[in-house]
Structure 1
Amino acid sequence: MATLCLFAQNKTFVYQLDYRYSDKKDDKKKETFTLDIVNQQSVFRTEDEKKSDSLLANGKYGYGTNLNLENQIYVIKDGDKNEISKFYRTLLKTYYDVKITEKLDWKILPDKDKIGDFEVQKAEVNYGGRNWTAWFTAEIPIPEGPYIFNGLPGLIVKVKDSRDDYDFTLKAVKKNTGDLYLKKRGLRIDYPTFKKIMMNHYNDPYTEARMANVPIAKDDGNGNPVRTTFTEMTPSVQKHIRDTNNPIELNYKNDYK
């Protein structure tokens, strides 16, 4: 990962992600993410995650998390260590730190265009079992971008995969407070290990809660809690995981049945 230049210090770049969360053509959503850069570190996460991290850093309660861990998008780039990591958090706040080792071998093309207010140039790369097209601008001379993407001679304004499953687009540039509110470091693992953990989570999504003797209840449809069991709740969680099984890293996609 290239070293960030002085322009990048204390900047926040707001991106919109348009994505397909399943293999069905019309299963699409939009979400707003922030890329916060302070000195040689950056963090890419949803706006809600950023608010949650800020609350936790100030001794308050954060927000809940996505039950499908593979759909959590939280990336930290460390320019000093030349490392990129994805962070995942379970329901009971077990943290996993997955180091990204796949290299980005960019091919910069002569094609140029204009996106919003920026003059941009085209580049292509393979990552995560997907082919990606990016548009970067030399007007913001930092080698950064959304998600794990970096290493081009200018900020990535837009990047999307060839299947039209994931499309990141820059929407705004702001100053930030200089505090990233980073999560605590989790258990460092690689992607193959994480894939196995995800399969175990699918097979028994309430393992942590059961071991911690966490009480469980469900809504009776009228806003009233009624007693239930983890066994009774498991099929609905498994269905949700199957129905949202379109991760960015297709090369590590689990076949849930």
Structure 2
Amino acid sequence: MKFTYTLILVIFAVLNLSAQGNRFIYEYQFRIDSTKTDSLKKEFVNLDIFPTKSYFYGQARFAEDSINNASIIEQRKSTPNSISTSSYTEEWNIQYYIEKFYPDFKINWFTNIEQTHMIVEEKPVIKWNIFPETKKIENYNCQKATTKFGGRTWEAWFSKDLPFPDGPYKFYGLPGLIVKLEDKTKSHQFLLKGNKKLMPENHSWDYITALQKEAKNEFEEVKVSPAQYKKLFMSYKNDPAKDIKLDLANPNNSMTVNTGDGKKLTNNAEIIKYFEESLARKYKLENNQLELNLHRK
């Protein structure tokens, strides 16, 4: 079943009435290791919708980046030659953020593979099959739709009560906001848990970008296509410690590594071996990414 562009234009007319934006909060459950069927992790993510774009990002990383960049700004004022930051990455898993532009839904996916930071520029074509089946989810009147994306089959429930043709992650294009979304294996599930109008004091990801510039803490990001991203991912999967090797190949660089079992490594060969083994385990365990087609041969 298809819907017309007239409907999309009407939706964007409604969207522009809310110039300050709307925040939709999703509970995201996902299984990192496909072999552990009972190992779903949970994280809350925001979809902030504005008249010309939207941002999708993890709440925990947003909070940490806000604190770290604000701290760097203050440290540069008082001790410009001595900067320290803290990281609690074990508390969040959504390391990327996604920027969608309206009305053509061009996407910038800001992500990284080890020490390489990238902007993956794309415009995914998502073809939906819309069904007459309806039900109530989280107090919204919802309708069923399905699609294939990222090497997975997805079932979505959207609500025309929320007139936004957007959704979590890179999904878009339905005549209403996606309230619930899950893949066929149920290893990636999004459920809308709340929403609110955004006020000027409710920061979105453009706030992080501004902080990074002020703190002079911007990453050098490389613009790549999805195909280039996949090629780079596979190269890291085959040689996960290559960044460490490059760093230690410079005679001016030295490194000390404290391992989880209390050992302190200073020998370059031992450090390289440690990272080769630990990162190889990481790539083996993190085998169930949302977009399978970008992370497998």
TM-score (norm 2): 0.74
Corresponding residue to 1:22 among 33, 39, 45 = 33
Q: Give the deviation of 1:251 after TM superposition.
A: 1.9
Structure of larger gyration radius: 2
Distance 1:64 1:230, change over 3 A: farther
Gap regions ≥5 residues in structure 2: 73-84, 210-217, 248-252
Q: Give the deviation of 1:142 after TM superposition.
A: 0.9
Q: Is it true that 1:208 corresponds to 2:230 in the alignment?
A: no
Aligned to 2:54: 42
CA distance in structure 2 between the aligned counterparts of 1:89 and 1:64, rounded to whole angstroms: 17
Aligned to 1:241: 283
What one-letter code is carried by the residue in structure 2 that aligns with 1:110? P
Q: Is it true that 1:221 corresponds to 2:261 in the alignment?
A: yes
Q: Give the deviation of 1:89 after TM superposition.
A: 2.5
How big is each residue's C-alpha offset from its partner over 1:221-241, in whole Å with a ceiling of 9 and x where there is no partner? Answer: 35x745351222211111111
Aligned ranges for residues 1-257 of structure 1 at < 5 Å? 4=12, 5-6=15-16, 7=18, 9-24=20-35, 25-55=37-67, 58=70, 60=72, 61=85, 63=87, 72-79=95-102, 82-92=105-115, 94-176=116-198, 177=202, 179-180=204-205, 181=207, 183=209, 186-212=221-247, 213=253, 215-219=255-259, 221=261, 225-227=264-266, 228-254=270-296
Aligned to 2:81: none
Q: Give the deviation of 1:156 after TM superposition.
A: 0.7
Between structures 1 and 2, the one with greater strand share? 1
> In the alignment, is the contact (CA less than 8 A) between 2:234 and 2:295 conserved in 1?
no
TM-score (norm 1): 0.84
CA RMSD of aligned residues (A): 2.8
**Percentage identity across paired residues of the two chains:** 29
Gap regions ≥5 residues in structure 1: none
CA distance in structure 2 between the aligned counterparts of 1:111 and 1:254, rounded to whole angstroms: 34
Q: Give the deviation of 1:95 after TM superposition.
A: 1.7
